[in-house]
Amino acid sequence: MSAPNLSARERSVCQQFCEFTGTSLDVAARCLKSNSWNIHQALEAFWERPEAFASAAPPVDMDALHKLFEKYKEEDSEAVGLDGLIALCADLDVAPDDIRMLVLCFNLQVKSGVHWTRAEFLSGMAAIGCDSVAKIKAAFSSMQADLAAPARFKAFYHYAFDVSRQEGQKVLDLGTAIQLWRMLLHDKFVHLERWCAYMANDYGKSINKDTWLLTLDFALQADEKLEKIDLDNSAWPIVIDEFVEHFRANPPP
């Protein structure tokens, strides 16, 4: 049963299942259907044998996949570099900074957004069942749909920090962080633009991983007036404390 064919009730149960397990909607639907849509039974069955419900990627033509890699790899190199990725983006009809490319990187589990090794390319594409540009295009919708599961999105958000850092750096450039926040949190953070403006104009520093990760928690908890944010009994990073204080002292009209 594919996710688009679920009833409203079934989709709701699937989303609960995804929150507990971090699986995709398709895996949740398959497990729940085999357990008569009883979420407790389905969770027990899943944790007992998770491999039984894993989505099997469609078979790929490895010869075609090797040719695809050869098309985009750099000359005299065993990796797809920046020029190859720009060419791939052109063939996929997406901009290099389109969120779909970050989603693709996440699904391929490449360590760099601008340097995909042969091993990463081949194993990643095989894992998602893609051996052609057309298949990658077709896979975008399901890869993005999987991010509806909160645990899956959280893993994606965490990955975005690591893959977007400059080589050798432990922190994320502030401009890159702001670009990513606007890309990833546009429908999740009610004060996104106020936050980005504050970070650019008042904070002005690179973003460490702790701040990056807790910004997601803050975004998901933030209400219209930030009344639910407890600064006294929560261990927020200092920049979040300062933003909340600034916001409360200068509320929107």
Q: What is the pLDDT of residue 54?
A: 66
The stretches in the chain having pLDDT less than 50 are 1-2
Q: Of 213, 210, 212, 248, which is closest to residue 229 (Cα–Cα)?
A: 248
Q: 107-115 — which CB contacts under 8 Å span 24+ positions? A: 107/139, 107/143, 110/163, 111/162, 111/163, 112/163, 112/167, 113/163, 113/164, 114/81, 114/82, 114/85, 115/79, 115/80, 115/81, 115/82
Dihedral angle at the C-alpha atoms of 204, 205, 206, 212, nearest 10 degrees? -80
Is residue 162 classed as helix, strand or coil in its secondary structure? helix
Q: What is the pLDDT of residue 55?
A: 65
Helices (H), 73-208: 82-92, 99-108, 118-127, 133-146, 150-164, 174-184, 192-198
- How many Å apart are CA 109 and CA 20, to the nearest integer? 22
Q: How far apart are the first and last CA of the chain?
A: 48
Model confidence pTM above 0.85: no
Q: What is the pLDDT of residue 2?
A: 44
Q: What is the pLDDT of residue 1?
A: 43
